Amino acid sequence: MPDKRNVVITGSAGGIGAACAADFARNGDHVFLLDLPGESFAAACAETAKLGKTTPIATDVGDRASVEAAFAQIAKAGGADVLVTTAAITKPAAILDFDPEDWDAILRVNLTGSFHCAQLAGRQMVAKGKGRIITLSSINGQVANTGRGAYSCTKGGVDMLTRLLAAELGDKGVTANAVAPAPVNTPMILKVHGPKDRAVWENQIPARRYADPDEVSSAVRFLASDEAAYINGHILNLDGGFMASGILLR
């Protein structure tokens, strides 16, 4: 893996995406920032640009033509060496009340968007004979926490997409792994967890706290490194011990 890699980050204006973008930019990599156009994207791009070489590309990951245009631009810069897919949306509701339109919208971004990006990045990586794909999954992809609906289902799908990529690209120099966090302190979690939810979660996490975005980007950085060359198809739970534990009597 060269020192200066082309690193593509989707959802780069979000809490975890911005932390990953900052990490790779500080490392000297050329970071391609992909997110929906708008003020928060422009502001996040301006912040990351202070840290290193960046190219913002306004992209809707759920739209094939938009993703194709982004990767055509990345190809002109030498193609993707690392892809980190963080773009996602959520809307909590009980499954019997889940709005079918919300279901379609969440699948479109979280699962189909990850597929579009991984396929187009994967083709560029295979042509180069090397690459790293890191998907942002969630512990919600493995256990059914109430009210997560379509979001959980997309994360289960992202886990399987990651394994498929690992199985099919593993002999072509490309690895694919997922990072699956428990709650992380980002805008997404602030929208869906009120103080009551937070208290319930913190009681059930052995570490008794949410993760910080920097703790997620550290794991992503490791999976993108040469040291992680033999780790392929792994779902790395980053959860303060949540998935290892049962009932916690405090």
Ligand X SMILES: NC(=O)c1ccc[n+]([C@@H]2O[C@H](COP(=O)([O-])OP(=O)(O)OC[C@H]3O[C@@H](n4cnc5c(N)ncnc54)[C@H](O)[C@@H]3O)[C@@H](O)[C@H]2O)c1
Kindly list the catalytic residues. 151
Sign of the Cα torsion 222, 59, 211, 19 reads: positive
Q: Residue 126 or residue 217: which is nearer to ligand X going by CB?
A: 217
Q: What does 46-100 look like in DSSP terms, one character per residue? A: HHHHTTS-EEEEE--TT-HHHHHHHHHHHHHTT--SEEEE---------GGG--H
Using CB under 6 A, pick the residue from 122, 149, 181, 240 that binds ligand X: 181
The helix-helix angle for 113-128 and 64-76 (nearest 10°) equals 30
Using CB under 6 A, pick the residue from 70, 189, 228, 236 that binds ligand X: 189
Closest CA relative to residue 14, chosen from 216, 199, 182: 216
User: Per CB under 6 A, does 183 bind ligand X?
Assistant: yes
- Residue 100 CB, nearest approach to ligand X (Å): 19
User: Per CB under 6 A, does 118 bind ligand X?
Assistant: no
- Residue 172 CB, nearest approach to ligand X (Å): 25
Encoded one letter per residue, x for contact with ligand X by CB under 6 A and - for no contact, window 190-229 reads: ----------------------------------------
Contact criterion met (CB below 8 Å) for 75 and 55: no
What CA–CA distance (Å, rounded) separates 168 from 163? Answer: 9
Q: Residue 121 or residue 188: which is nearer to ligand X going by CB?
A: 188
Closest CA relative to residue 20, chosen from 186, 153, 213, 239: 213
Q: Of all residues in this chain, which one has the CB nearest to ligand X in the complex?
A: 14
Q: What does 128-158 look like in DSSP terms, one character per residue? A: HT-EEEEEE--GGGTS--TT-HHHHHHHHHH
- Using CB atoms within 10 Å of the CB of residue 91, give its burial: 0 to 12 exposed, 13 to 18 middle, 19+ buried: middle
A 10 A CB-CB count for 49 gives 16
- Residue 184 CB, nearest approach to ligand X (Å): 4
Q: Residue 174 or residue 182: which is nearer to ligand X going by CB?
A: 182
In the range 48-107, which residues lie near ligand X by CB under 6 A? 59-62, 86-89
Question: Scanning the structure block, which residue is given the tokens 């942002």?
Answer: 136
User: Per CB under 6 A, does 188 bind ligand X?
Assistant: yes
Using CB under 6 A, pick the residue from 8, 14, 54, 125 that binds ligand X: 14
User: Per CB under 6 A, does 31 bind ligand X?
Assistant: no
Say how many residues touch ligand X, by CB under 6 A: 28
User: What is the contact surface with ligand X in residues (CB under 6 A)?
Assistant: 10-11, 13-17, 35-36, 59-62, 86-89, 109, 113, 136, 138, 181, 183-184, 186-189
